[in-house]
Structure 1
Amino acid sequence: MRRRLLALVCVTGSLVSACGMLPGDHQERKTVTVWLMKDSASKEFLRRFTEDFERTHDDLRLDIRIQEWTGIVEKVRGALKEPSGDGPDVIEAGNTQVPLYADGGRLADLTLESMRDWGKDTWLPGLAQPGKDGNKQYGIPWYAANRVVIYRKDLFRQAGIARPPRTRDEWLTATEKLNTGGNQGIYLAGQDWYTLSGFIWDEGGELAEEKDHEWRGTLDSPAALRGMDFYRRLQALGAGPVDADEEHPPQAGVFAGGKVAQIIAVPGLVQSIVRQNPDLKDKIGFFPVPGRTAGRPGTVFTGGSDLVVPRNTDDQFAATTVVGALTGAKWDTELARTMNYVPNKTTLAGAVAGAEGVAAMAAGAAHGRATPSTPQWADVEADNPIKEYMTRVLQGGDPAAEARRASRRITEALAPDVG
């Protein structure tokens, strides 16, 4: 099946010219091998991009190979160690994976191109920051997705709520009104730590901070504790389990049950909701996670992908040419429209303004963040102390004491390997 998928999705220049040659041109094309992740872009998008790229770059040929997310970290790490010219020239990486790949100096430094050609000042911060190490830019933002509030328009009307809330205080008030008559004002699982992260960042706190080249957990800071307190107050306005995350049970199924006014999720989850309950098709709306003030949506965790260039490519110029085309305004907005993503720049948000869910994502992504930019953050998530911390607090534990405990575990996980 994997081989058949690659055969179907691998896009080459055969549609443009046979055997990598243009008619009447005896110059051999340089093949640029690009690894993209499954479902990041449709086959039709890749076909159109390839035709356009090879038409405008008659010295280059694209070989796009689709990869599975499962096991991708070790596969990419192996490719980055290959002899020059034996591996991919461009790789799609999840934004929070870039620090893993940049560790050890195995990615090309794209700082110059970012500043000179690619308009880095308007990139979404949640994509750009994880791709940066010090003053060097390794990951180039491609597309983003983030959580918004998915809500029942009919339940809002029944509760007398004329418009979606724009501040946290309005949100709490509205949710309390909705939490009545057998309905949950919001379904928020107790261990949804990505959502908690946004509340912490909104308060000026951090999950962890680096000082003198050492990372330490900071859930016990006053700002982070304020973020947890807001989460506690919001979570109490529904019946979400305090000892599970949003996938246990899947919150799409809970929302489809018809007794939930709001959830916090990516807009694409609505497809699953409507499949399970078609009666909700025209009753669902979206709004950005509210912030502390009406003029600024809440900070949200931004997921998505960057493009990176391995240092062992044998033609960095050709590789960066492909990166520049894929992440440029023309094809980045086309990808966003095709796949319902947020474009990689705040200045391109207007391209998705017509889609309510994506527009809500774009508003939040302008203030998005990512997890701490250190290769060791994967070790934190592997045995996530933030989830346990949240459950303990929601069960009545002392927030400050539990935050200190969780922060110590984060600090231990972020300690560099020795020996």
Structure 2
Amino acid sequence: MRNRPRRARLLAVVCAAALLLTACGVLPEGGAGRRTVTVWLMKGSTSKEFLRRFTAEFERTHGDLRLDIRIQEWTGIGEKVQAALKQEDEGAPDVIEVGNTQVAQYVDGDGLSDLSLESLRDWGMNDWLPGLAEPGRFGSRQFGVPWYAANRVVIYREDLFAQAGIKEPPQTRDQWLADTERLNSSENQGIYLAGQDWYTLAGFIWDEGGDLATKASAGTWEGSLQTPAALRGMDFYRRLQALGDGPVNADEEHPPQAGEFAKGRVAQIVAVPGLVQAIERANPGLKGKLGFFPVPGPTAAEPCAVFTGGSDLVVPKNTDVRPGATAVVAALAGAKWQKDLARTMSYVPNKTTLASAVAGEKGVAAMAAGAAQGRATPATPQWAAVEADNPIKVYMTKVLTGSDPATEARRASASITRTLAGRAE
């Protein structure tokens, strides 16, 4: 409980006034007696109109609560959240939106409430997207509740596919390779895939049954790029990347792949659908020519297990309005507001059973199909340190330039293991 003597005195005065007003029959609607739930949401996650609709409905149906929604910047948010989780005054948040891969670091600091005590089955936990639910779950305890997701799909030129005689997008990896090779010509490259696009690589590794790192029996984490499954994923990436002219020593932002695609000589890229806006701004001539399909899996039964980005909702342990905070989380994660948010912001809803809400938007529908198989990075607070000086990128470039994959994989895995153990190189 936070120490709020001033607020307690004010509340006592308000309650006394409320009793007098009630006796006179003139208690104003929605006034005294409401407790404030402070909610931190991230800039760009939703719209002002959505927040207006949600706030009005929530306060109407929860007469004892008032919402104070505060928008935060992503830059520096980790340090700000860590400070808020230790805060004991009136300004501390009661609900926080966090990136799905950030939950582990806040759990590690013992600052989050265990939400497993709530009726999670009533919240639809059995249908939650795995790429959002798994990073928020530690053992049998759920600290992060999935809010929304976004993931990579294949953005492609429908006109170039038609010219190559490809009538429909590929549904298997083998067909994808064959179609991409068919799309190559003296004028166009079948795909633009940068050599260090490690998020895309991760999906191929997961499809093969491998992982970037695994948890050992002693509770420590170890890099696992050297496993046969992970090596098969890297081999597919190598074969696909070789069918285009993407740089082998850079990631998808150097140079930005939207700009490369906009030049009009690329048939496909792997990216979030929202990148189409930047492509069409750079080259208006491509409007009406772009389509989407899920990244293909090994078989047509299901698409690739892509990396799922997005946000979870957490409740700080230091909140003194836990029932109100969990009511906000339950509402935002519930079917009504999930559908509203997905349609408003072109996101993937947090449950596989809600995918039909975005069926009319081709890019989002392709995302939703992939998100059903989605995954996230290893759920350890040290993973951010791996990404900061990413040995996976170095490994990928080494393989794409002819080095022995097994040797380089062992070297990269050893680096990951040291970082996850907190040891310097």
TM-score, length of structure 1 as denominator length: 0.93
**Closer/same/farther in 2, CA of residues 26 and 403 from structure 1, 3 Å limit:** closer
Which residue does 1:381 correspond to in 2? 387
Q: Aligned partners of 2:34, 2:87: CA distance in 1, in Å?
A: 23
> Among 238, 262, 266, which residue is 1:260 paired with?
266
Structure 1 position 87 matched with structure 2 position 97? no
* Counterparts of residues 7-406 of structure 1 (less than 5 Å): 23-24=28-29, 27-83=32-88, 85-113=90-118, 115-211=120-216, 212-406=218-412
Report if the CA contact (8 A) 2:40-2:95 is conserved.
yes
* SS across alignment from 1:224: helix
* SS across alignment from 1:164: coil
Q: Which amino acid aligns with 1:372?
A: P
* SS across alignment from 1:342: coil
Report if the CA contact (8 A) 2:30-2:63 is conserved.
no
**Closer/same/farther in 2, CA of residues 52 and 26 from structure 1, 3 Å limit:** closer
Q: CA deviation at 1:364?
A: 0.1
CA deviation vs aligned residue, 1:147-187 (integer Å, no higher than 9, x gap): 00000000000001010000000000000001113211000
Q: Which moved more, 1:179-188 or 1:24-33?
A: 24-33
Q: Aligned partners of 1:306, 1:213: CA distance in 2, in Å?
A: 24
Q: Which amino acid aligns with 1:195?
A: T
* SS across alignment from 1:149: strand
Q: Which amino acid aligns with 1:363?
A: A
CA deviation vs aligned residue, 1:324-380 (integer Å, no higher than 9, x gap): 011100001100000000000000000000000000000000000000000000110
CA deviation vs aligned residue, 1:277-320 (integer Å, no higher than 9, x gap): 01101000000000000011111000000000000001111100
Q: Aligned partners of 2:231, 2:189: CA distance in 1, in Å?
A: 25
CA deviation vs aligned residue, 1:45-87 (integer Å, no higher than 9, x gap): 0011101111111111110000000000000000001126541
Q: Aligned partners of 2:35, 2:235: CA distance in 1, in Å?
A: 56
Q: Which amino acid aligns with 1:68?
A: E
Q: Which amino acid aligns with 1:340?
A: S
Which residue does 2:8 correspond to in 1? none
* SS across alignment from 2:214: strand
* SS across alignment from 2:118: helix
Q: Which moved more, 1:174-183 or 1:35-44?
A: 174-183
Q: Which amino acid aligns with 1:161?
A: I
Count, aligned residues: 398
CA deviation vs aligned residue, 1:27-57 (integer Å, no higher than 9, x gap): 4211100000000000110011101111111
Provide the aligned C-alpha RMSD in A. 1.4
Gap runs ≥5 in structure 2: 1-25
CA deviation vs aligned residue, 1:193-221 (integer Å, no higher than 9, x gap): 00000000000001000012010000000
Q: Aligned partners of 2:169, 2:267: CA distance in 1, in Å?
A: 12
Q: Aligned partners of 1:384, 1:221: CA distance in 2, in Å?
A: 19
Q: Aligned partners of 1:272, 1:303: CA distance in 2, in Å?
A: 20
Q: Aligned partners of 1:283, 1:90: CA distance in 2, in Å?
A: 42
Q: Which amino acid aligns with 1:243?
A: N
Report if the CA contact (8 A) 1:199-1:231 is conserved.
yes
Q: Which amino acid aligns with 2:152?
A: R
**Closer/same/farther in 2, CA of residues 26 and 411 from structure 1, 3 Å limit:** closer
Q: Which amino acid aligns with 1:226?
A: R
Q: Aligned partners of 2:118, 2:395: CA distance in 1, in Å?
A: 42
Q: Aligned partners of 1:116, 1:417: CA distance in 2, in Å?
A: 40
Segments of 4+ moved more than 6 angstroms: none
Q: Aligned partners of 2:206, 2:92: CA distance in 1, in Å?
A: 38
Report if the CA contact (8 A) 1:190-1:244 is conserved.
yes
TM-score, length of structure 2 as denominator length: 0.92
Report if the CA contact (8 A) 1:85-1:313 is conserved.
no
Report if the CA contact (8 A) 1:114-1:137 is conserved.
no
Gap runs ≥5 in structure 1: 1-20
Q: Aligned partners of 1:131, 1:163: CA distance in 2, in Å?
A: 37
Q: Aligned partners of 1:164, 1:301: CA distance in 2, in Å?
A: 21
Q: Which amino acid aligns with 1:125?
A: P
**Closer/same/farther in 2, CA of residues 22 and 92 from structure 1, 3 Å limit:** farther
Q: CA deviation at 1:113?
A: 2.0
Report if the CA contact (8 A) 2:103-2:135 is conserved.
yes
Q: CA deviation at 1:240?
A: 0.1
